[in-house]
């Protein structure tokens, strides 16, 4: 942005090896390695503007969360002699990159150029994962798109009910701590961080639609009192997702002690029963789509590991799962909350299906403004929770 040129030039005036250019043309003409760190929605426009000025035989990459439009923009607007090595850090802005997955995509480059980019990015201390652009988009859809949709829907539902969940005992303690903390963590970020991945990733649309369908289908079974059908569907999904050979006998990702440690409110002496529709629908969605989440742990984000941890916690405890099924049919305590959650899940799915960025932004920022006063505390608690999880996984 040109209005920041003078300020940045002054700020870095004592750094001999740092040159501030007025625009992207100066950067493109002089740089041997260029990273486009812009929103996925804007990548084509920005590369079209500055790509033609790229230095001969330079290496170009991008940090967008969705690689299909990024690679298309590079192929469309960059000269043919330019090499393309893209990347994507699979974690949020407040997470230590050390040990976190960093995807490297050798799309159009020599091994020498790819090795150079690898050495440059080694300073993050991340674990490098080599994928194609197509595989990256599929895996990020599997591990991020539906996870984000679930938390976005929770926030929208709480906002619609005019609820601050940490002020209600039924949303404090155990699994509820993860729901509240991660929902607020997502809403404390910029809307475009999630919009690009959801709307521009071809695989994400299908998965977010399936999540909304799973929420709706399970909620209808609860409303109708169809316990046998609900139980069979939930347990069939659970077996498909959690009874894989690699998980039998493995310890849970999250324990009671970890779940109860991080709360935004005072933990009540007795837990309020909850049918956990959001979690049941997630596993139902994975089952319907044939996704085994453990297959992608090498490329999983901290948020995905937390979400997988709480779903695993529920489904790998038979007595708890039976209790939840009983509650889903017999207890109406959460019925109005579940109704708003169902509306929210379908609303987010429609927004993504229509490819409507302006609607996505409006929905996101409305809820964001509602929860904004609690973001600093939620970020602090969320960072501590993620650190504990990373130490365990």
Q: What is the mean pLDDT of residues 20-42?
A: 92
Q: What is the mean pLDDT of residues 213-224?
A: 97
pLDDT at 175: 78
pLDDT at 245: 44
Which stretch of 55-59, 84-88, 248-252, 363-367 has the lowest confidence by average pLDDT? Answer: 248-252
pLDDT at 47: 97
Question: pLDDT higher for 296 or 383?
Answer: 296
Measured between alpha carbons, how far is 144 from 132 in angstroms, rounded to an integer?
Answer: 17
Count Cβ atoms below 10 Å from residue 212 Cβ, excluding itself.
Answer: 25
Q: What is the mean pLDDT of residues 325-352?
A: 93
Mean pLDDT of the chain: 87
For the chain, the C-alpha Rg in angstroms (whole number) is 22
Q: Which among 175, 177, 184, 176 is positioned nearest to 151, based on CA atoms?
A: 184
Q: CA–CA distance from 246 to each of 126, 242, 266, 278 (Å)?
A: 25, 9, 37, 25
Q: What is the mean pLDDT of residues 264-288?
A: 80
Question: pLDDT higher for 262 or 280?
Answer: 280
pLDDT over threshold 60, residue 381: yes
166-196 pLDDT, tens digit per residue, is 666 555 556 777 888 888 889 988 998 899 8
Q: Which among 100, 101, 107, 102 is positioned nearest to 133, based on CA atoms?
A: 107
pLDDT over threshold 80, residue 253: no
State phi, psi for 163 to the nearest 5 degrees: -115, 135
Question: pLDDT higher for 84 or 1?
Answer: 84
- Mapping DSSP onto H, E and C, the string for the chain reads CHHHHHHHHHHCCCCCCCCCCCCHHHHHHHCCEEEECCCHHHHHHHHHHHHHHCCCCCEEEECCCCHHHHHHHHHHHCCCCCEEEEEEECCCCCCCCCCCEEEEEEEECCHHHHHHHHHHHHHHCCEEEECCHHHHHHHHHHHHHHHHHHHHHHHHHHHHCCCCHHHCHHHCCCHHHHHHHHHHHHHCCCCHHHHHHHHHCHHHHHHHHHHHHHHHHHHHHHHHCCHHHHHHHHHHHHHHHHCCCCCCCCCCCCCHHHHHHCCCCCCCCCCCCCCCHHHHHHHHHHHHHCCCHHHHHHHCCHHHHHHHHHHHHHHCCHHHHHHHHHHHHHCCCCHHHHHHHHHHHHHHHHHHHCCCHHHHHHHHHHHHHHHHHHHHHHHHHHHHHHHHHHHHC
Predicted TM-score (pTM) of the model is 0.83
305-325 pLDDT, tens digit per residue, is 888 888 988 898 899 999 999
pLDDT at 289: 93
Dihedral (CA of 317, 318, 319, 321) sign = positive
């Amino acid at each position: 942005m040109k209005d920041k040129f003078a300020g940045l030039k002054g700020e870095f005036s004592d750094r001999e090896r740092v040159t501030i250019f007025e625009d992207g043309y100066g950067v493109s003409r002089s740089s041997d390695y260029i990273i486009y760190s812009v929103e996925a929605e804007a990548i084509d426009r920005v590369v079209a503007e500055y790509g033609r000025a790229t230095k001969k035989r330079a290496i170009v990459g991008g940090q967008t969360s969705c690689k299909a439009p990024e690679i298309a923009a590079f192929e469309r607007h960059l000269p043919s002699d330019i090499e393309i090595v893209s990347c994507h850090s699979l974690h949020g802005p407040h997470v230590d990159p050390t040990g976190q997955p960093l995807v490297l995509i050798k799309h159009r480059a020599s091994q020498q150029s790819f090795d150079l980019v690898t050495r440059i990015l080694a300073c993050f201390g991340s674990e490098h994962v080599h994928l194609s652009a197509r595989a990256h988009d599929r895996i990020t859809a599997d591990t991020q798109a539906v996870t984000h949709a679930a938390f976005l829907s929770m926030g929208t539902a709480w906002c619609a009910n005019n609820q601050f969940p940490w002020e209600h005992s039924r949303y404090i303690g155990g699994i509820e701590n993860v729901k509240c903390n991660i929902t607020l963590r997502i809403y404390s970020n910029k809307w475009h961080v999630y919009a690009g991945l959801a709307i521009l990733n071809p695989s994400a649309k299908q998965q977010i639609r399936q999540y909304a369908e799973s929420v709706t289908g399970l909620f209808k079974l609860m409303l109708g009192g169809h316990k046998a059908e609900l139980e069979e569907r939930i347990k069939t999904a659970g077996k498909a997702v959690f009874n894989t050979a690699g998980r039998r006998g493995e310890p849970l990702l999250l324990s009671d002690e970890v779940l109860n440690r991080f709360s935004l409110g005072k933990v009540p002496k007795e837990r309020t029963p909850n049918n956990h529709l959001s979690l049941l629908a997630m596993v139902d969605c994975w089952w319907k789509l044939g996704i085994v989440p453990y297959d992608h742990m090498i490329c999983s984000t901290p948020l995905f590991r937390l979400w997988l941890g709480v779903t695993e916690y529920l489904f790998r405890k038979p007595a708890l799962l039976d209790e939840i099924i009983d509650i889903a049919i017999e207890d109406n305590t959460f019925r109005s909350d579940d109704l708003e959650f169902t509306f929210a899940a379908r609303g987010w799915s429609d927004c993504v299906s229509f490819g409507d960025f302006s609607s996505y932004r409006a929905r996101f920022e409305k809820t964001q403004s509602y929860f904004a006063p609690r973001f600093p505390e939620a970020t602090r608690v969320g960072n501590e929770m993620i650190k504990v999880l990373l130490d365990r996984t």
